[in-house]
Every structure is written in C-alpha cells, then in structure tokens.
Amino acid sequence: MRNLIELLARVHRWLLFLALWGAALAWMGTTYGHHRTALARWSMRIAGSWVDAGSRVADWRNLSESNQMVMLENARLRAEIERLKSGDRQAWSAQHARVLRSPGWNRSPWMVLDGGGAEGIAPGAGVLAMGHAAGKVVDTTAHEALVLTLVHPGAQWSVRLGRNGPSGRLVHTDHNVRQATVRDIPWAHLVLPGDTFFTTGHDGVFPADIPVGTVLDVVGTEADEFQEVHLHLGANFPAARHAVCLPNVRARRLDSLVESSESLTP
C-alpha cells in the first residue's frame, strides 16, 4: 500500500511539472517576441521536414514507376529493332511480368513469374530483368512461369565481349547470384574491368546485343590459352521486381528444324 501511495505521488508530481512547463511555454510565447519567433521557426522547420520527407517519398515512387516504364520501352524497342533486322514481323515480341520469386531465395537458382500460358508466355522465351539478360522460360502453368536463370549451375549462355569482340560461355560456379564467369575468351583479346558483355543471339533465347554484365576481373596467365572473366551481372536478381519476356516465333521454328534434321542423320 505504501508503494502504491509513493507511485501515485510521483505521477502527480510529474503531471504537475508538465502542466507548469506547458503554461510557462505558453506565457513565454505570448510575452516575449524573440521566443515566440523562435518557437514559430522551430514548428515551421518541423513541418517543413515532414513535407520534404513526404515529397521525397512521392518522388521516389514516381521515379520507380518511370524506371519501370523505361525498362519496358527499351525491351519493346530492342524487340522492334530485331524484327526490322530480321525482316520477320513475328520474330520477337515483349511481354511484361511480375517477379514472384528470385534466385537466391532459399538458395534457389530459379525465378518464378506471375505470367503463364494464359498470358501467352511459353517455354523458350527469353527473360530480361533490370534491362539485362536474366534467363529463359522452361515451364509454365496457366498463370506462372518457371525461369532458368543465368545463375543456374547447370546452364550456359552464349555471350560476346562488346558488340564485336570474341564470344564465350557464361556459366555460374558459386552461390553469389550477382556474379558469373565467362570462359573461352582467348588471351589475345584485351579484357578490362568495366567492359560490357552482350548476348550473341546464337542460342535463340535472346536477340543479339542485350547487355549481360560488366567485367570485374580476369583470372589466368598468358601461359593459358584462354582467360576466365568474372562478371557483375546486370540482372540484379535480389532487387528485381519486374521482368520482360521475349517470345521468339523464329526460335521455335529453328528448334523444330534442328530436331527434324536429327532424324536425317545416318
């Protein structure tokens, strides 16, 4: 009982202190012009900071939406350029999808998209993330698509140093979903950090000249025939929220042509 009385007395003293402090501030604000001005400036500064923070959030959302629209437009333009180059009106098209799961989640090298067969996405379509090559669709349901990504340990991809340099094989050998390795680049070709690798278009998954990543470093000596190039992938899988699928009608025709030719081999 005594402890309860002491606690109530402390609370009473604190409430009395807060009331007197508030009354003193109010009296000072109405009596002294300097203090009143300081209080007004302080309140305006606080209000301004909140307004500025709100505007920054709005600007960030607008920038994010703008970046997404730019990425989709770039993919559409790349597909259109490839169509004009090939002369085939149905060679490449672009279709947007949202990323449901990215590589790195639960140590998985797969990506899952929210678009499937009902949305016109079929196995074999190339996938872009952050405007860079990311993988290809290998299976679909009605409304989901499973993507074999560049960081899958069992896959390899055709890439080229620059737009006119030598081509090599892109493979993934560790658990870092932001990096990959390019092999079969001869030592005769100079490779420097910051150089960009692009798709070749030879595997039928992507059009040519889609950016893949930039060089981090080069491993090996001049005694070796080929150099091993470590890349920083442009498809930032942990941060990717949207993807672009590139169905290719011609690639399906070429695949069927190759498959039919195998039956003709003696």
Phi/psi for 247 (5° steps) reads -65, 140
Residue with tokens 């996938």: 127
Q: Which residues on adjacent β-strands are paired with residue 141? A: none
Which pLDDT score, from 0 to 100, does residue 168 have?
A: 96
Q: What stretches in the chain show pLDDT beneath 50?
A: 89-90
Task: Supply the DSSP symbol for 238.
Answer: T
Which pLDDT score, from 0 to 100, does residue 229 have?
A: 96
Q: What is the pTM of this model?
A: 0.65
Which pLDDT score, from 0 to 100, does residue 94 have?
A: 82
Phi/psi for 15 (5° steps) reads -65, -40
Which pLDDT score, from 0 to 100, does residue 112 have?
A: 96
Torsion angle, CA of 48/52/54/57, rounded to 10 degrees? -170
Which pLDDT score, from 0 to 100, does residue 247 have?
A: 83
Cα Rg of the chain (Å, integer): 30
207 contacts 78 by C-beta, under 8 angstroms: yes
Which pLDDT score, from 0 to 100, does residue 72 have?
A: 58
Class of domain 93-261: mainly beta
